[in-house]
Chains A and B, each alone.
Chain A
Amino acid sequence: MVNSLPEEKIFKVSELVQLLKLTLETQFASIQVLGEASGVVVASSGHLYFTLKDSAGAMKVVMFRGQLLKSTLKKLENGQQIIVRGVLSVYPARGEMQIIASDMRLQGIGDIFLALENLKKAYAEKGYFDPQRKRPLPLLPGRIGVVTSPTGAALRDIVRILRRRFPGIAIVIYPAKVQGEGAAAEIAAGIEYFNRTDSDHAVDVLIVGRGGGSYEDLWAFNEAPVVEAIFRSRIPVISAVGHETDFTIADFVADLRAATPSAAAELVVGKKDEFLNRIDFFRHALMRHMEMRLHEKKSSLEGLRTDSALAEFPGHAQELAQRLDSGEFALVRLFQQSLNRKLEKWHRTAQSFAAFDMGAALKNRNLQLQNLRMQVHSRFGEKLQQGREKIGVLNSKLASMNPENVLAKGYSITTDHAQRVVKDSSVLAAEEKISIRFARGRAFAKVIKE
């Protein structure tokens, strides 16, 4: 465009200024300029005006309100070394060249990153970040220590979230300055205090942190006093500094890094409800297993009852033996073979008596039985006695499992309108009157179907 200008052409001023503006905006559409800010003014419109200069040059800069709100650096002060990004333009009314800025940032920021990287490297080499140093957090901390600013949003978030997750959990706050001069010393003093005290301020886990801010604001968490205090802490430390994207040396040396203070509150303790649910889950599992076992044993108890005359008879040991421990099983098997022979003989005897007068037969059978027992006793005396004792124990165990005792453990039996025991909720109709039997007494209830 510039090359094709006719030499004879006479411009109007406004034409020339517009042409210049267009040319600059095209040729210098995106530039970055380093300089020192001076003459900083924010107009009532919200637009920012200043001059960017160095030892040998100066340039006017305007940053409109919308860009200022999104700028990396929002509050500009005279004398700051900054880098301005924007487009080179002309203010037509005065024909003055100016930069229309889209972003500005402090020049020193690069130095901060470099310093941080160097620090990180140095501590890493000293083994401060070794994974094996990281300690597990207690499952349920009795008390939680917090080292942060007493007025910051971070503390408010931590307390609010902890109260919601675990009502009643104890929190001890050590108020500390978290930015500016002396902040690192105060934060370190807080960590050291909790490590030293054995009073009822003693805590099981520490949250050390603050809310978001500039790199300068977070700098205390990169300083040696804080890093060393976390390193030496015998109490596990959760770091919670700034936003998710912020990293400080404290984050690397801490046992656990939380992205934000709120996240720290969520990491430090599980939900109270979840603890209770987990315990209830185990209780139900216990009851279910016990119920299954009781059911098994009840069947064998019933079997014994219906055949009470044989209950005592050693032949029954075969059936019971299967339920006894392997040790007992071996014992029973030892004399089982001999007993089986006796049993067969007894069966034959019993059958032959069946045809005779029952009274006499019974008398005779008893006599036979006694003889048989005496023989068994004399031959297997001690071993049989042992076996019997075990069977006796088993019997009393079985007795302890009768339904009454089950009720006494807190189970109940529900019966429907026809007094039938309810084993399946699907047999119940809505509004049906049911009866619940407890260990003591009973209650009536109506079925609610959902």
Chain B
Amino acid sequence: MKKETLDFEAALKRLEAIVQKLEDPDVPLQEGFALYEEGMKLSSQMKKELGEIEKKVKILQSDAKGNLQATDFEAPDNE
């Protein structure tokens, strides 16, 4: 979990850096192409990852042995 989060944050930073680099006309074309490809691939992955987030709200409850178990939490949705 933790790792996934860091990846997204790092990915966003990387994407920003790629765009900045590509803005620089002194960056050779070949490098520009590589940056472009990397940026498009990265952003597609990020969009996919965001789209795939589909998780539940869980509430922890003690079971018979006193261990905490997560069960679905259904909060009244007033909106």
Contact = CB atoms under 8 A, between A and B. Distances in A.
A286 B19 contact: yes
A168 B55 contact: yes
26 contacts: A138-B5, A139-B8, A139-B9, A142-B1, A142-B5, A143-B55, A150-B59, A156-B78, A159-B73, A163-B77, A166-B53, A169-B55, A170-B53, A170-B57, A172-B59, A175-B60, A204-B2, A272-B53, A280-B43, A282-B39, A282-B43, A285-B22, A286-B40, A289-B22, A289-B32, A323-B29
Q: Which of A203, A289, A325 has the most CB of B within 10 A?
A: A289
A397 B30 contact: yes
Contacts of A193: 60, 68
Contacts of B28: 325
A170 B70 CA distance: 12
B53 A279 contact: no
A201 B36 contact: no
Contacts of A388: none
Given A172-B70, A290-B36, A285 B19 contact: yes
A286 B39 CA distance: 7
Contacts of B32: 289-290, 293
A319 interface: no
A204 B6 CA distance: 10
A160 B75 CA distance: 8
B54 A279 contact: no
A175 B75 CA distance: 13
Interface string B37-66: 001100100110010011111111100000
A142 B2 contact: yes
A357 interface: no
Which DSSP category, helix, strand, loop or mixed, fits chain B's interface? Answer: helix
A155 interface: yes
A278 interface: yes
Interface of A: 138-143, 150, 155-156, 159-160, 163-164, 166, 168-175, 193, 200-204, 272, 275-276, 278-280, 282-283, 285-286, 289-290, 293, 297, 323, 325, 393, 397
Nearest to B53: A168
Interface of B: 1-2, 4-6, 8-9, 12, 15-16, 18-19, 22-23, 28-30, 32-33, 36, 39-40, 43, 46-47, 50, 53-61, 68, 70, 73, 75-79
B77 to A, nearest CB: 6
Contacts of B61: 175
Contacts of A272: 50, 53
Given A156-B75, A289-B22, A297-B29, A142 B57 contact: no
Nearest to B9: A139
A423 B8 CA distance: 36
Contacts of A141: 5
Nearest to A193: B68
With a 10 A CB-CB cut-off, give which of B12, B75, B78 has the most chain A CB atoms.
B75
Contacts of A285: 19, 22-23
Given A168-B54, A276-B50, A289-B23, A174 B60 contact: yes
A141 B7 CA distance: 11
A141 B19 CA distance: 25
Given A163-B77, A397-B30, A173 B8 contact: no
Nearest to B30: A397
Contacts of A166: 53
B46 A204 contact: no
Given A142-B4, A159-B75, A169 B46 contact: no
B40 A171 contact: no
Contacts of B70: 172, 200-201
Given A142-B1, A200-B1, A282-B15, A173 B58 contact: yes
A397 B18 CA distance: 20
Contact of A170 (B8, B40, B55, B78): B55
